[in-house]
Structure formats: C-alpha cells, structure tokens
Chains A and B, each alone.
Chain A
Amino acid sequence: MMNRLAGLMFLAVLWSGLANAQPADPESIEVGLSTDRIAITADFSGADLTIFGALDNADPLLARQGRYDVIVVLQGPAAATVVRRKERVFGVWINRRSQTFQNVPISYSLATTRAIQDIADSESFSRLSLGINNIHLKSESGAIGASEFSEALRERKRDSGLYSERIGGVQFLSQSLFRATLSLPPTVPVGTHRARAFLFKNGVFLKETSAPLLILKSGLEDAIYQAAHSYSFFYGVGAVLIAMLIGWLGRIIFRRD
C-alpha cells in the first residue's frame, strides 16, 4: 500500500541538460507535479510519499563535494487552532487557559539532505520559517513569539505525527537529481497541500519553488464525508435506516425464540 501511494505522486523531472548550461547562470530548483491530487482510500493507514526533483545549472564540482543541500516540505492546509491547558480544579483536571493561533498548518512534513543545523545557520531558517520550530505561529491576540502554548502546539503536533522531520530524507540520485521521502500520517488532512523545495549552497539559501497538491478522500469515503456535510439531515436519516436494517437483519439471522 505504501508503495502504491508513493507511486501516485511523482515530481516530473524538469532537467535542462547540464551541457547546455552557461556556467554563469544561477542555480535553481525545479518542481512540477505529475499528479496534482492524491486520493485517500479505505485502507489508508499513513504512507510514505516520494517526490523527485532536480537542480538546474548545478556546479558539478560543488555537487560532487556535496555542497548543495535540499529541504522538501509538504505543508497541509492552514486552520485556526486552539491550544488548551489543563489545570486542577477541586481535584479534577479541566481545560482552563487557552490560546488560539491563526493559520496553523494542520500537517507539516519535512525532509532534508542532512541534519538541519549543518545545512545553514538557525537565523536563515527562522527567516524562511523553515522547520517545525520555525513555523510562524501568530496568536489571536496578536502576540508573536515563543510561548508555552506555541511550544505545546508544536509538541502535540509532533507527538500525533502530523508534524514530522526526516533527516536524510532527501537523497541525491545524481549530481542534479534528488528524491525526497516524506511521511504522511494516518490523520493527514484533506485539502490543498503545498510541496515546497528549498535549495541551499554552502550554507546559503538560494532558491525556493513550490507546487500545490490536493489530498482528498477517494470515492466512497469522499461521498460519505460530502453527504455528512452537505446533506446532513438526510445523512442522519440514512444512518438511522441503516441501523434499523442491521438490527432487523440481526433479528432474522440470529433469531433464538
């Protein structure tokens, strides 16, 4: 199943031949999705997503020395997210204080060529808001910056598998062709995701490119979800009828009196 999903998604290699490249041309990174949608089927239980990509005008000498680094991110749709903190009241643990953050990516899956701190300095990453710890979290009250709530949000997302980082998840297959393997958790949100690729040379950020990717529920799952939201009353009536049918069949099949 994992292989099947990996096969679904393929970044077309837009590779202008190295031979034609002018040495003076700046390097760039290319993405182009061969498919712009992935369907979650009934047996989906999380998967690895493989993305292929390429560098343009890469300096062969630097490439051989491994001076190029690539970070690939698949960022899920954004949503306002509430973080709640439990406190003890009369011996019972209940949700007390909370903070709401706007435009938090529901999922965030990242793969790199090597350890993040070896690719560039932390300042570059925070400028690019790249990496789980650098995702820009803006609370409803307008306060930006690290708080216990934003730290907790990252922590919970990491624990649930929605935020993940794979060191070494990007591998160069040749001097300019690379393959990135990202983790899709079982709870991956449906909606428009964005595949972003960042190119670094000698610890300096060069280029970023991105492409949208739609993740949706396949046939039956989607039909059920759509029905539950668009025709919620009739969906409820249907659920009741199914329950009665099963109850009646159960009585017919297993009758004991």
Chain B
Amino acid sequence: MGIYLPIAELSVNMFVLLAMGAAVGFLSGMFGVGGGFLITPLLIFYNIPPAVAVATGANQVIASSFSGALAHMRRGTLDFKLGTVLLVGGIFGSTIGVYIFALLREVGQLDLIISLMYVGFLGIVGGLMLVESVRALQKAKSGQTASLRKPGQHNWIHRLPFKMRFRASKLFVSVIPVLALGAVIGFLASIMGVGGGFIMVPALIYLLKVPTNVVIGTSLFQIIFVAAFTTIIHSSTNQTVDVVLAVLLMLGGVAGAQYGAKAGQRLRGEQLRALLALLVLAVALRLAFDLFVQPADLYSISLAGVA
C-alpha cells in the first residue's frame, strides 16, 4: 500500500517501511544497539533523500532508546550523573554537527560526507569487534573465560584533572574525557542520524572502564536526549524530520525489538558480537561500493537553496 510522505515528498510502500523498521528492531533488540546505523543507510537505499533519512533516523532512535532506558531504570543499571555529564558534551557536539550538516548540504557534499563517515566508522568498529569476538570465541573453545574489564588497570585518561565521582559506575575520573566523548557522539548523531551506541558502548567499557552492566542503560539514557535535541535542531534548521516516516519505522521497530531480544537470549555474548560485527561490516562494504565504483550516472540534480 502506497503512502505519501509529506516531508520527503514522495510516495513509498508502507509495508516496506514497517518491515524495515521490524527487521532493524529485531536486530537492535538482539544486539542491544539503537539501530540508527542501519536505518539511515537503508532509507537512503530506498531513495529517501539523505537529509530526511538522517533527521528522521535520529527521531526513530528516540523511541527505541527510550523504551530500552525505561527497562534499565527499573533494574537500576543507569548512572544518571555520568549520563548527564555525557549529555552536556553531547548537546555541544550536536549543535556543531547540525550547522556543519546544513553547510555541507549547501555545497552539495552532504551525501559524500555521510557515506564516508559511515564507511569509516562502521568499518573500524565492525573490524575491531570482529577481531575481539573471534578471539573470545577461540578462548571459549579452549576453555578460558573472557573478561573485558581488568580492575586496577589505569591509563592516561585517569591522570587528567577535574576529577568527578560517579557512584553508580564506581568511577572516579576527570570530566574532560567524559565531556569529549559526549561531544563526539552528539556530533555523529547529528551528521549520521545515529544514536552513537555502537561507539559509546565500547568507549565507555574500554576507555573509561565503566562496568558493563551500567554501560548500556547509561548510553541509552544519554542517547534519548542527544537524539531528541538533534531532532529538534534538524527540524528548526533544515525542516527535514518526516513524522509519518518516523512513526512507521517506530511501529515496526518496537514490535521487532521484542522478538529480537528473545532470539538474542539463545546466543552467547561473543557469538552475538561476531554476528553484529559482520552485519556492521556488510553495511560499510555496501556503502563503500557506492563510493568507489563508478556510478551509472555521473550527474545528479537538486533544487538550489532549499531541500
């Protein structure tokens, strides 16, 4: 059934979007990620203008992370203080990102930057995760238990000034790396239409040594606000948030997430991480293909000044 998207200004098949939302929801439930990094490229492959795909992707991320954060709040695995500091950095990064986004759109390089960032970040994160999970799988085979956190170990990050105590995370660390991490995530959120969970989670675990059980809840908490802020800024500066598109994706997404979470319980952690790594790498390769292979048509047209 066709449905007309008022902001993207084109007609699309409603069931394709619901299925897309459900498929991404399934994966995000299974792997515990927001799914923004899958939704935005999928929308672009489906001919949604990249500017609309990014802004609407940010909108869709709110729904999945809000739903997830509620669950973590109940379990008490959410560090509000850490989340708030990350958020302050996030708002800052996101503001810069949206203005750069508008600038890139004007000079016609937005699609290129979005694709390059996706290929770069997804390639690196996917590659690292794959290496790590394959090692863990090998260890598990030889009977050792894999542990991500080695207590008592300190790195240069822990020698920075302006230290702050985060009780829920059992952490005493400088606010500088926390703010910086938040800003990077906010910047990515506004340019790529992602929540940034796929970067935030490893960064909190490996760089700041936050206990793994607090990481996902805290990351989701801050993502809600960064994505909400990004959505509002995109809406005010670029008018590219399509609520009809977002609602269709969310409806498919919230339903799919539940089945994904169930399916995920049957797999072991390192198996899940290996699968997610392969998925991330596949998306990166698909986008890289468009960048490096000569396009069928060298010319593209767009209206000057406006959308």
Contact = CB atoms under 8 A, between A and B. Distances in A.
Interface in B52-66: 59-60, 62-66
Contacts, number: 198
Nearest to B291: A92
B301 A242 contact: no
A156 B258 CA distance: 42
B109 interface: yes
A227 to B, nearest CB: 9
A257 B254 CA distance: 15
A129 B33 CA distance: 55
B257 A250 contact: yes
A118 B243 CA distance: 49
Interface string B258-290: 100110000000000000000000000000001
B295 interface: yes
Contact of A40 (B4, B112, B228): B4
B303 A246 contact: no
A246 B4 contact: no
B66 A247 contact: yes
B255 A246 contact: no
A253 B147 CA distance: 35
Contact of A244 (B6, B63, B232, B255): B63
Contacts of B244: 221, 224
A238 B291 contact: no
B148 to A, nearest CB: 24
Given A94-B112, A186-B11, A250-B63, A240 B228 contact: yes
Contact of B243 (A86, A152, A242): A242
B62 A243 contact: yes
A67 interface: no
A246 B6 contact: no
Contacts of B60: 243
Contact of B3 (A43, A229, A251): A43
A98 interface: yes
Interface centre among B63, B74, B236 (most CB of A within 10 A): B63
Contacts of A159: 297
Contacts of B231: 236, 239-240, 243
A166 B291 CA distance: 36
Residue of B9, B224, B255, B258 with most chain A CB atoms under a 10 A cut-off: B9
B64 to A, nearest CB: 7
B49 to A, nearest CB: 11
Interface in A8-65: 40-46
A243 B246 contact: yes
A220 B28 CA distance: 31
Given A238-B243, A240-B59, A243-B59, A254 B258 contact: yes
Interface in A217-251: 217, 220-222, 224-225, 228-229, 232-233, 235-240, 242-244, 246-251
A232 B112 contact: no
A95 B109 contact: yes
Given A43-B1, A240-B228, A247 B295 contact: no
B23 interface: no
A239 B236 CA distance: 12
A84 interface: yes
B76 interface: no
Interface stretch (A75-83, A109-117, A169-177, A201-209): A75-83
Contact of B62 (A79, A81, A244, A251): A244
Contact of A81 (B3, B11, B108, B302): B302
A256 B258 contact: yes
A106 interface: yes
B65 A94 contact: no
Contacts of B63: 243-244, 246-247, 250
Given A235-B235, A246-B63, A224 B292 contact: no
B212 interface: no
Contacts of B305: 80
B300 A86 contact: yes
A93 B298 CA distance: 9
B27 interface: no
A95 B108 contact: yes
B204 to A, nearest CB: 22
Nearest to B261: A256
Contacts of A87: 298
A45 B108 contact: no
11 contacts: A84-B299, A84-B301, A85-B299, A92-B116, A93-B294, A233-B236, A239-B59, A240-B59, A247-B250, A253-B254, A257-B74
